[in-house]
Chains A and B, each alone.
Chain A
Amino acid sequence: MAAVPVTCVRLTISMNTNQIVGKSSLMKIVPMGRVKSGFPCLRTSHFRISCAAKPETVNKVCEIVKTQLALSADTVVTHDSKFSTLGADSLDTVEIVMTLEEEFGISVEEENSQNITTVQEAADLIESLVEKKNTNA
């Protein structure tokens, strides 16, 4: 895995002079996971860029959630919607996970099941599992 040198620009507001001062430093970042289409996943301690799941995946998850919870067509479900605030109880969440497994051909371990609380988390996990499956294929 190639290490990618990155210039990390950190903006700090100096309290005394009320100026925005930019500092830059060179950091070596090792991309996590396979690099797809030349765009690496970067996680640094200063700021986070997560690889966002594809919109199609997010939309599919939203669809499945809306069906499971029998939400009306005009209920807005987005990537940051929490299952519990939409009215999902534990049985709903497990059904959602199972539907996602069937839809995407993946298998979600119990430990990960518990961490799926939002549409985004579900979509991210799906993509990482699909990726893993494709790598191993």
Chain B
Amino acid sequence: MFCTSALSPLQLPSRMETHLWYVLPNEVKSQSLLSQYVDLLSPLEKDHVFSMRGEELQKSALLARALVRTTIARYQIHSRVSPRSLVFRKNAHGKPEVIWEQSDDWHPPPLHFNLSHTSSLIACGVTVGSPIGIDVEEKQRTMKSNILSFAKRYFSCEEVEVLSAISDPEVQRHEFIKLWTLKEAYVKALGTGFSGAPFNTFTIRFGVANPNPEDSAIVIVPLEKPTNLTTNWQFAQVQLAGSHYAAICRQNDGLPGGASMKVIVRKTIPLVEEHCVPSIVPVDD
């Protein structure tokens, strides 16, 4: 039987860093561990988890909540914070955030987080001082629709052109998925919902390839004038567990032009273990 001893503390990400945590549901098998996770949840969260259809989806939903609660609590934010005591709410557009206990002697640090999951991987990104959006997708994910039809309906013309120019259908599918994760990460970072930044109102444009591909910046190009869309955002793309593409979007706080995001990736089993993994930029596979 595991005991919920004090979780080992974590240092907050610096303002230049982004932390990315992920858990693989396949690696969490212990029923007693899953019960411990259930104990961390609020009544509403429990309802939500158990409303999911089938054990697999329930487990995935449970792990997502366990991941976010244990991770945030570990950032030594406040001695009174435990995974169970954290209170979450959704902003006006449905984006989840933490409600910190306010007191005279303590002001919470500007910690931001965002979750994303597939059935086989759950990820949580954490930043300090910048909103964050992340999205993960399985590399092997297949579309039911025709990719170019889908892109023509939902993406920008420029993006459709880029995808159309790819002759190999597998490569095209991979690039489509990566592009989806980038657009989704941006919209989630903005926090105004799908309708706040419809996908066809902005282009994700890749910088000109230069000797160091990690430095080629990804930029947002709003298509409407005037626009509500802000462009001071930076992106990172990483591969997780060899099976998933992840996109991260956070604000670009006037860093020297094109400086790439520093991402620290850690694979974890909440309450049990974690280890750092080297952050891998996807190569064409």
Hey, which bits of chain A sit against chain B, CB under 8 A?
67-68, 75, 82, 85-87, 89-91, 94-95, 98-99, 101, 110-111, 113-114
In the assembled complex, 9 residue pairs joining A and B whose CB atoms fall closer than 8 Å, in A order, are A85-B53, A87-B119, A91-B184, A98-B145, A98-B154, A99-B145, A101-B153, A113-B195, A114-B194
Q: Which residues, 147 to 168 on B, are CB-close (under 8 Å) to A?
A: 149-150, 153-154
Q: How far is the CB of B90 from chain A (nearest CB, A)?
A: 14
User: Chain A's nearest CB lies how many Å from the CB of B39?
Assistant: 22
Interface residues of B in 117-157 (CB under 8 A from A): 117-119, 137, 141, 143-145, 149-150, 153-154
Q: What CA separation (Å) do A113 and B198 show in the bound complex?
A: 10
> A86's contact among B53, B137, B184, B199, by CB below 8 Å, is which?
B53
When A85-B52, A91-B180 are in contact, do A110 and B198 touch as well, CB less than 8 Å?
yes
Residues of B within 8 A of A113 (CB): 194-195
- How far, in angstroms, from A98 to B51 measured CA to CA in the complex? 26
Across the interface, do B195 and A87 meet the contact criterion of CB distance under 8 Å? Answer: no
Which of chain A's residues have a CB closer than 8 A to the CB of B119? 87
CB distance from A72 to the nearest CB of B (A): 10
What 1/0 mask marks residues of chain B from 88 to 125 whose CB sits below 8 Å from any chain A CB?
00000000000000000000000000000111000000
Contact of A89 with B118 at beta-carbon distance under 8 Å, contacts A67-B144, A68-B144, A95-B150 already known: yes
For the complex, is B220 an interface residue (Cβ under 8 Å from A)? Answer: no
Sorted nearest first, the 6 A-B pairs with minimum C-beta distance are A110-B198, A111-B195, A114-B194, A110-B195, A114-B195, A87-B57
CB distance from B63 to the nearest CB of A (A): 14
B193 at the interface (CB under 8 A from A): yes
Give min CB distance, B146 to chain A, whole Å.
10
When distances are taken between beta carbons in the complex, the residues of chain A under 8 Å from B199 are 110
B53 touches A75 (CB 8 A): yes
Say what secondary structure dominates the interface of chain B. Answer: mixed
Q: What is the chain B residue whose CB lies nearest that of A75? A: B53
Query: With A and B bound together, what is the CA distance between A91 and B153 in angstroms?
Result: 13
Contact: A85 with B184, CB < 8 Å?
no
B194:A87 contact, CB within 8 angstroms: no
Given A85-B51, A95-B143: A114 and B193 within 8 A (CB)?
Answer: yes
- Chain B residue with minimal CB distance to A67? B144
Docked pose: A110 CA to B199 CA in angstroms? 9
Contact A99 B57 (CB under 8 A): no
Whole-angstrom distance from the CB of A99 to the nearest CB of chain B? 7
User: Per-position contact with A for B215-235: 1 when CB-CB < 8 Å, else 0?
Assistant: 000000000000000000000
Give, as a whole number of angstroms, the nearest-CB distance from B129 to chain A: 26
Q: Which residue of B lies closest to A72 (CB)?
A: B54
B119's nearest neighbour on chain A, judged by CB, is A87
Contacts of B141 in A (CB 8 A): 91
Residues in B neighbouring A67, C-beta threshold 8 A: 144
Nearest CB in chain A to that of B58: its residue:
A85
- Contacting residues, chain A, for B195 (C-beta < 8 A): 110-111, 113-114
How many angstroms between the C-alpha atoms of A67 and B195 in the bound complex? 26
Q: How far is the CB of A58 from chain B (nearest CB, A)?
A: 18
Q: Is the CB of B57 within 8 A of A95?
A: no
